[in-house]
Structure 1
């Protein structure tokens, strides 16, 4: 039987790299199948290229308790946005967040005093995958540390338009290491009906998909979660989850920043 795996892209577990879910067609997966089926998983930005922080000055990286790695993006001098599955029940004192460097282990450390995940994250499964982090002090902006603009509520993406994603996530499904150099990849927005055909048990209208649907070869992977998809100099999506990394018929799934429940949450906590 053709085996499929859905995993939150964040879960680059540095100490114990085990991630979530396994199900097979033609059986229809239940939420329990998706949430409770741990299976080894290995992967980052797939099919992309090396880039520099100057091209993505909003990009940040963070490690929690030296155990898992995520991305995030600066939206103002006081706030950083990431995925809820990266930030749920996270003590701010355990976060090491870095900005301003192309290299994953370098950059300015930005102390965090508050981490707030969407209160309705994962209800239903994977939905409303957004969180905000408040900085201890205002961020000093430079050529390599800058905020990115957000779309208006309801400003939805056009099918097949192109978006750019950056991150330090893994680059292929067989490799259990993560890159030191920031990477990016450009992928198209997948028509909603195509994405729904793949993720029909979990896809909501608060999500959209990106990738080469028929050919595969490009997409996000573990360690990229919490980073953003960019279009027209706006952060339009949050890297959330996917079935494998850059596989055919398995696009990357993003939390839709313009969706009312997500955009309203960001506004409530950041004023943006």
Structure 2
């Protein structure tokens, strides 16, 4: 968030100009934020001009409805940075799967983020967990 320099949500780098995030994170914030890449600990001042990028454009899935709090269908957005991202050992795009990739129920995958670690607190350090996939109908 450019105005308050606070952490709002995470995003995943897809290419040297685009990131993937949740639509509910950017609804109403289309041009009022930047992205800080390569951070592992939100408490440490790891910000650097070369790792800080302004958001030039935000593309929210057209079927996303932010007015329905429990509705998280189509909760996806693409962010476009103001310039090319410089890759290094901590900043690299994630690999998108082949469109023919088959995902099985209970397939093991990794997730990462700074989400809640209990009812009251969010983690300031990047958390990683191994979880099993489940079908949307079972969520």
The structure in which a higher percent of residues are strand is 1
DSSP 3-state at the match of 2:25: helix
2:65 to 122, 141, 156: 122
Q: What root-mean-square deviation, in Å, do the aligned CA atoms of Structure 1 and Structure 2 show?
A: 2.4
1:82 positional shift: 0.4
- Give distance in 2, aligned partners of 1:135 and 1:192: 31
Report 1:193-232 matches (<5 A): 193=137, 195=138
Q: TM-score, normalised by structure 2?
A: 0.80
- Give distance in 1, aligned partners of 2:2 and 2:101: 33
Partner of 2:81: 135
- Give distance in 2, aligned partners of 1:161 and 1:189: 5
Query: Aligned residues, how many?
Result: 130
1:178 positional shift: 2.4
DSSP 3-state at the match of 2:10: strand
DSSP 3-state at the match of 1:86: helix
DSSP 3-state at the match of 1:85: helix
- Give distance in 2, aligned partners of 1:191 and 1:135: 33
1:187 to 118, 131, 139: 131
- Give distance in 2, aligned partners of 1:192 and 1:132: 22
Report 1:15-30 matches (<5 A): none
- Structure 1 stretches of at least 4 aligned residues deviating more than 4 Å after TM superposition: none
For the pair shown, which has the larger CA radius of gyration, 1 or 2? 1
8 Å contact 1:87–1:116 — kept in the other structure? Answer: no
Partner of 1:104: 42
Q: TM-score, normalised by structure 1?
A: 0.43
DSSP 3-state at the match of 1:111: strand
8 Å contact 1:162–1:187 — kept in the other structure? Answer: yes
Write out per-residue CA displacement over residues 72-125 of structure 1, whole angstroms, 9 at most, x where no aligned residue. 000000101101111223232x21311112112534212111111111113993
2:93 to 147, 151, 154: 147
8 Å contact 1:83–1:130 — kept in the other structure? Answer: yes
Structure 2, unaligned runs of 5 or more? none
